[in-house]
């Protein structure tokens, strides 16, 4: 058993033990990089269902990124309203698309795949409102590059397992985890931890009794003590 070999969970244990729980996953591009950029903006602070609906309606309304970029903010807002925060996201989408076009003369971001990872991330983060998470999502999900997107689930689980220090911000966690996970494992690790955070290692009441990593989780004892106090 893993608990007999070591006391703390390692990255290798995550890959070994969470794979059978949630995998296997096969990478394939979700959208082209520029469309992924728009989709990721729409996905901020809303559900996957709402962001997908908003993206589909946006593309059905305008037909192309070129037409979205030249549309009025009000028309973009109307098209994405079902996704939530339309007044914030509509101008952000228009500004970013126009920034890309002004610099490249097109919306073709495939050149990023040829850059070193740090340079590709830096190029994207120069765009208005694009932080490390959005940049990593584009590079990972659209281009298959080993960039580590860190959402609330990954951040929480990584801290509980001791992969990310308590004082490390979510922004810095991207680089910390990228340095610890093998490049070929980044995509799977990302999805394993998201699924584990949603289904088992939940924010308020982690289900340690169902966790295949509980044997080496440094946070388990504290949660179990808290659960016993709650029961009393």
Where do the structural domains in the chain lie, given as residue ranges?
Answer: 2-24+150-231, 33-142
Q: From residue 117, give the alpha-carbon distance in Å to each of 138, 139, 144, 179.
A: 12, 8, 11, 12
Check pLDDT > 50 for residue 88.
yes
Q: Which CATH number fits domain 2-24+150-231: 1.10.8.50, 1.10.645.10, 3.40.50.620, 1.10.1670.10?
A: 1.10.1670.10
pLDDT of 228: 76
Q: Residue 7's pLDDT band (boundaries 50, 70, 90)?
A: confident
Average pLDDT over residues 77-88: 95
* 3-class secondary-structure state, position 207: coil
Tokens of 155: 């951040």
Average pLDDT over residues 69-78: 97
pLDDT of 170: 93
Check pLDDT > 50 for residue 1.
no
| Spatial contact of 12 and 215, defined as CB atoms under 8 Å apart | no
Which secondary structure element, helix H or strand E, spans residue 228, and what is its range? Answer: helix 220-231
Q: How many CB atoms lie within 10 A of CB 48?
A: 8
pTM (predicted TM-score):
0.89
pLDDT of 4: 47
Q: Which of 83, 30, 26 is nearest to 58 (CA)?
A: 83
Q: Residue 6's pLDDT band (boundaries 50, 70, 90)?
A: low
Average pLDDT over residues 163-185: 95
From CA 151, how far away is CA 158, in angstroms rounded? 11
From CA 58, how far away is CA 54, in angstroms rounded? 6
Single out the catalytic residue among 89, 94, 121, 133: 133
Check pLDDT > 80 for residue 3.
no
Q: From residue 29, give the alpha-carbon distance in Å to each of 41, 72, 93, 138, 143.
A: 17, 29, 21, 10, 7
Give residue-wise pLDDT tens across range 151-162: 999 999 999 999
From CA 14, how far away is CA 76, in angstroms rounded? 42
User: Any idea which fold 33-142 has?
Assistant: Endonuclease III; domain 1 (1.10.340)
pLDDT of 231: 65
pLDDT of 129: 85
94 is catalytic: no
pLDDT of 232: 57
Burial of 88 (0-12, 13-18, 19+ CB in 10 A): middle
Q: Residue 21's pLDDT band (boundaries 50, 70, 90)?
A: very high
Q: Which of 110, 193, 96, 180 is nearest to 146 (CA)?
A: 180
From CA 43, how far away is CA 134, in angstroms rounded? 10
Determine what percent of the chain is predicted with pLDDT higher than 90.
89
- Do 2-24+150-231 and 33-142 agree at the fold level? no
From CA 161, how far away is CA 110, in angstroms rounded? 35
Check pLDDT > 80 for residue 5.
no
Mean pLDDT, the chain, rounded, equals: 94
Determine what percent of the chain is predicted with pLDDT higher than 70.
96
Q: Residue 23's pLDDT band (boundaries 50, 70, 90)?
A: confident
């Amino acid at each position: 058993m893993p608990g007999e070999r070591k006391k703390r969970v390692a990255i290798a244990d995550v890959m070994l033990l969470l794979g059978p729980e949630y995998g296997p996953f096969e990478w394939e591009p979700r959208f082209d990089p520029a469309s992924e950029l728009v989709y990721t903006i729409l996905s901020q602070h809303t559900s996957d269902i709402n962001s997908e609906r908003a993206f589909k309606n946006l593309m059905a309304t305008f037909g192309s990124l070129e037409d979205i970029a030249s549309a009025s903010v009000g028309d973009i807002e109307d098209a994405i309203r079902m996704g939530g925060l339309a007044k914030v996201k509509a101008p952000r989408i228009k500004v970013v698309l126009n920034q890309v076009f002004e610099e490249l003369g097109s919306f073709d971001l495939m050149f990023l795949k040829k850059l070193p990872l740090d340079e590709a991330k830096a190029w994207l983060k120069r765009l208005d409102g694009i932080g490390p998470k959005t940049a990593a999502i584009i590079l990972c999900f659209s281009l298959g590059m080993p960039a580590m997107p860190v959402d609330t689930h990954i951040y929480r689980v990584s801290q509980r397992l001791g992969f990310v220090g308590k004082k490390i911000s979510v922004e810095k966690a991207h680089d910390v985890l990228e340095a610890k996970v093998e490049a070929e494992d980044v995509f799977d690790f990302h999805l394993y931890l998201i699924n584990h955070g949603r289904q088992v290692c939940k924010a308020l009441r982690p289900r340690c009794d169902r966790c295949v990593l509980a044997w080496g989780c440094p946070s388990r004892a504290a949660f179990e003590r808290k659960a016993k106090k709650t029961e009393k």
